[in-house]
Amino acid sequence: MIYKGILSCVIAASSVFGTFAQTHTLEINTKKTGAAVSPTMYGIFFEDINYAADGGLYGELVKNRSFEFPQSLLGWQAFGNVEVKTDGPFERCPHYVVLGFTGHKECATGLQNEGYFGIGFTKDEEYRFSVWAKATDGEATIDISLADQSTMDENQERAKAQLKVSGNEWKKYELILKPNKSAQKGCLRLLLNGTHGVALEHVSLFPVNTFNNRENGMRRDLAQALHDMHPGVLRFPGGCIVEGETLKHRYQWKNTIGPVENRPLNNNRWQSTFHHRLFPDYYQSYGLGFFEYFQLAEDIGAEPLPVLNVGMACQFQNWNNPAAHVPVDSLQPYIQDCLDLIEFANGDANTTWGRKRVEMGHPKPFNLKYLAVGNEQWDDLYFERLRPFVKAIRAKYPDIRIIGTSGPDSEGKMFDKGWKAMREIKADLVDEHFYRNEQWFLSHGLRYEGYSRKGPKVFAGEYACHGKGKKWNHFETSLYEAAFMTDLERNADIVEMATYAPLFAHVDGWQWRPDLIWFDNTRMFKSVSYYVQQMYACNKGTNVLPLTMNGKPVAGQEGQDGLFASAVVDKRKGEVIVKVINTSDKPQDVTLNLNGLKGARSATATTLHSDNMDAENTLDNPDAIRPVETAAVCQSKKNMTVLTDRLPAKSFRMYRIK
Ligand code: AHR
């Protein structure tokens, strides 16, 4: 969403204030259409870090809903006569609880779930409670409520309902709870009413109003934010969680499909990496599994890009320990996982894995085109494992584009070795990762100009500017990301996709920052970096246009006063789009010569700017910095369309010219 109108005077301002010492002339050749910009160019990378999945995007509000955490009642407060048993109806999630009469009517038996940092609920919204249950000795009654413990009210219950459970067969029960007041950190209470006992399994609570109203769906505001970025690609599920700190805990996609009640719990690789929390209770329920990822990609219009394990555990955690990884001659099950995933995504109902997708409710293929094998691996340990994967995938699915990785370094010996190996292995794309500081982003504005145009394309799969001064998500770093991204755009012939990382963070449960989108239990805000990504993704055009400034490539070089720029044409809309970033601390005059266009034309200018480099968006002030759109005018000069402007110091401005 872009604010309109307020700055309309700014475009005219250059003539009022006169010109600065140097006007920077951008020559844009609108008739010489360059490389196509890949529709996948600007995407998103989702990993379950910072409580991005359970407790975040995934709509489930109950923590440890299947009692499968190693401490079965973690997240639950149990009182009275509560017993945990292990012969439940779901083979891979065998735990459940039995609530029994205490023997005294005044001593209640019950359970209370704390959710993820509390359960957030909103007045008058509907919440679907569901549970698998059976009566243990005649019809049982459970009082179910959403409560707000933070209040001193005599009655903390904000929504109440009663559930009758009869019969000693496991059945699924559902009811709707509608709170009469909101709570940020509420809880779910189940209270045994009467003397008859009941067994409970998979206790679940979802907002009814999920994104696209799916029952096992996504939190609406967070998924909508993804949708509104118009991402071209969705990379999932990680990141290091693909590898696991040991192979036992690697991400196994086959465990994440089918009925949610029977998806086994997995450790989360990020479980013990919090700086500010002592108790690690971070697991993967797999409720948000591969079917849901594919569906989400479809819902937000992005190409799905799964990353699968290459037979290696996290190399950072298993430094120089070849024994941590699968021997090269034992990789077949891992390779088979890749082949089966392609069948799951694209196969028809007559195939083993295609049928599973159809049974889950998606008869049409997901049209998978990309597959990454290995996350952030490096050196020979990786190369020798990747080779047999590539051979097997090429043999069966020659059209799938395979993505390898150059490891965690943004340049240097190991990075070069990775790229060399990827060329030899003939990967289609190479996934580069760079979390670097301000200086790096400012000095790499011509990174891709020097890349060979032969061989694999670039996927900048994880990147973000990390403030040296230990600041996070503030305006300045986002501005430098915008500057750097002009280089991705100018080099669209070699850069096929790029995804900022990480994507989400819960304000109470993060371990990594900066992040693109922050949230608590009921609210969210988009960082300035989100708006940078959105401005690029929604305005990527169809083809690059050649552009020079003062006769040189544009990227903050000497004599260019910290200016960065790129230009594209959108052939479908008939628009030229020019992005200019002024990273210097003084205003800069620019003249855009639109060679090949004639006459005065209407245009818009969208600006992302703050006077305060440390300013950031927050939950309480989510709109502190966001793009503002104004009208702009292009004049006719020397038989050419020309736009003159003065860019504020430290600003990102994008022009759209009809
Ligand atoms: O994005 C966070 C982590 O950074 C990813 O899991 C990993 O690939 C990289 O090291």
Whether 592 is covered by a domain: the verdict is yes
Task: Count the neighbouring beta carbons within 10 Å of the beta carbon of residue 501.
Answer: 24
Residues 201 and 301 in one domain: no
Residues 292 and 389 in one domain: yes
Determine the atom of ligand 1 nearest the C-alpha atom of 462. 1
Residue located nearest, by CA, to atom 1 of ligand 1:
502
Pocket test for ligand 1, best of 45, 47, 250, 271 (most atoms within 8 A of CB): 47
Determine the atom of ligand 1 nearest the C-alpha atom of 376. 8
DSSP 529-576: HHHHHHHHHTT--SEE--EEETTB--BS-TTTTTEEEEEEEETTTTEE
**Domain termination residue (choose one: 161, 179, 207):** 207
Contact by Cβ (8 Å): 263, 285? yes
d(CA 229, CA 500): 12
pLDDT at 153: 82
Whether 162 is covered by a domain: the verdict is yes
pLDDT at 21: 58
DSSP 187-219: EEEEEEESS--EEEEEEEEEESS-GGG-TT-B-
pLDDT at 154: 80
pLDDT at 151: 81
pLDDT at 22: 84
pLDDT at 11: 42
pLDDT at 4: 52
Domain tally for the chain? 3
Helix/strand/coil for 296? helix
Residues 624 and 490 in one domain: no
Whether 383 is covered by a domain: the verdict is yes
Pocket test for ligand 1, best of 269, 312, 376 (most atoms within 8 A of CB): 376
Residues 47 and 82 in one domain: no
Determine the atom of ligand 1 nearest the C-alpha atom of 502. 1
Task: Count the neighbouring beta carbons within 10 Å of the beta carbon of residue 645.
Answer: 24
Contact by Cβ (8 Å): 238, 249? no
Residues 139 and 185 in one domain: yes
d(CA 141, CA 162): 7
| CB burial of residue 414 (10 Å; 0-12, 13-18, 19+) | middle
Nearest Cα neighbor of 159 from 199, 208, 202, 97 is: 208
Residues 359 and 378 in one domain: yes
Q: Check 114, 201, 245, 376 and give the catalytic one.
A: 376
Whether 523 is covered by a domain: the verdict is no
Q: How many CA atoms lie within 13 A of 654 on its CB side?
A: 30
Chain centroid offset of residue 415 CA:
25
CATH number at residue 93: 2.60.120.260
Whether 529 is covered by a domain: the verdict is no
Which pTM value belongs to this model? 0.96
pLDDT at 5: 44
d(CA 318, CA 312): 10
Residues 472 and 327 in one domain: yes
Whether 168 is covered by a domain: the verdict is yes
Ligand 1 centre from 407 Cα, in Å?
11
Residues near ligand 1 (Cβ within 6 A): 47, 49, 238-240, 375-376, 408, 433, 462, 501-502, 512
Whether 578 is covered by a domain: the verdict is yes
CATH number at residue 645: 2.60.40.1180
Residue located nearest, by CA, to atom 5 of ligand 1:
239
Residues 318 and 357 in one domain: yes
**Domain termination residue (choose one: 486, 509, 532):** 509
Determine the atom of ligand 1 nearest the C-alpha atom of 45. 1
Pocket test for ligand 1, best of 49, 251, 432, 459 (most atoms within 8 A of CB): 49
Residues 54 and 194 in one domain: no
- The domain in which residue 630 lies consists of 3-37+543-657
pLDDT at 278: 66
CATH number at residue 356: 3.20.20.80
Ligand 1 centre from 499 Cα, in Å?
12
Q: What would the pLDDT profile of 106-149 be if each residue is shown by its tens digit? A: 889 999 999 999 999 999 999 999 999 999 999 999 999 999 98
Residue 376 annotated among the catalytic residues of the structure: yes
d(CA 378, CA 386): 11
**Domain termination residue (choose one: 146, 174, 207):** 207
Ligand 1 centre from 385 Cα, in Å?
20
Residues 503 and 411 in one domain: yes
Whether 515 is covered by a domain: the verdict is no
pLDDT at 241: 97
Residues 100 and 131 in one domain: yes
Residues 233 and 356 in one domain: yes
| pLDDT < 50 stretches in the chain | 1, 5-19
